Amino acid sequence: MNDRPTIIGGLVIALVALTFPIWYSVGAGRPGPPPELELPADESQCVEDAASMRANHMDLLDRWRDAVVREGRRTYRSTNLGEVEMSLTKTCLGCHRNRETFCLRCHEYANVGGEGPAGGVRCWACHLEPEGN
Ligand code: HEC
Ligand code: HEC
Ligand code: HEC
């Protein structure tokens, strides 16, 4: 009798684990947070809210690139951090210092861009990583 909650709990965990690939792929395109993303230890907020970043960071990066390359603008007014420089390396990777345990880990998990050293997202041939990685 006393074992019942434990057994049911175990069954629920097993069921979730077994069906995880199914319900994850159903939500593909708008994946939730994957496990074990390394977040900056010394920062608590992203430029925009995490949910918005999760869904829209590719568009934000596109807009940043266009602003810098086409319009020569470099300052972005963010929701959470005030004005930041529009720079993939200096700003994004300034906080997310290790792209392997953050960008790449999620891209592999969400199967973005297929195989490749950057999870198929080929930015790093030109955009240098911060020192230390
Ligand atoms: C062939 C080289 C090349 C590749 C590949 C490339 N970029 Fe760029 N990118 C540039 C150059 C050159 C600039 C202009 C840099 C400047 O003026 O400071 C730039 C500027 C940018 C900027 C704004 C300024 C900055 O320093 O971040 C963003 C954001 C950006 N690119 C994002 C990306 C993303 C995301 C990818 C991958 C999907 C990517 N780029 C791939 C060459 C490249
Ligand atoms: C000042 C530090 C900082 C900067 C700059 C920054 N981030 Fe973040 N980012 C964070 C933190 C902290 C979180 C977690 C926030 C939370 O959980 O509320 C986060 C969350 C995210 C997430 C969601 C992760 C998840 O949990 O699913 C993505 C995607 C992301 N950032 C990408 C970027 C990109 C791309 C840039 C540059 C355009 C960037 N970040 C710039 C600190 C930063
Ligand atoms: C929480 C998961 C997650 C994290 C963390 C994450 N990404 Fe992404 N990223 C995605 C998903 C999912 C897509 C594909 C979205 C789509 O196809 O609509 C994507 C797409 C992109 C694209 C467009 C790629 C293409 O081929 O169109 C770029 C560029 C990109 N991410 C850059 C980054 C960078 C740089 C970081 C780290 C600073 C990062 N991402 C972190 C989930 C993530």
Report pLDDT digits (tens) over 76-130: 999 999 999 999 999 999 999 998 899 988 888 888 865 555 555 788 888 886 6
Q: What is the pLDDT of residue 111?
A: 84
Residue pointed to by tokens 């049911």:
8
- Look up residue 10 and give its two tokens: 């175990």
**Cβ of 128 less than 6 Å from ligand 1:** no
pLDDT level of residue 26 (50, 70, 90 thresholds): very low
* Token pair 């790449």: residue: 104
Q: How far is the CA of 89 from the centre of ligand 2 (A)?
A: 13
| Whole-number pLDDT of residue 10 | 62
CA distance 63 to 53: 13
Contact criterion met (CB below 8 Å) for 74 and 68: yes
What pLDDT digit, counting tens, does each position of 27-66 carry?
555 556 666 899 999 999 999 999 999 999 999 999 999 9
77 vs 81: CA distance, rounded Å: 8
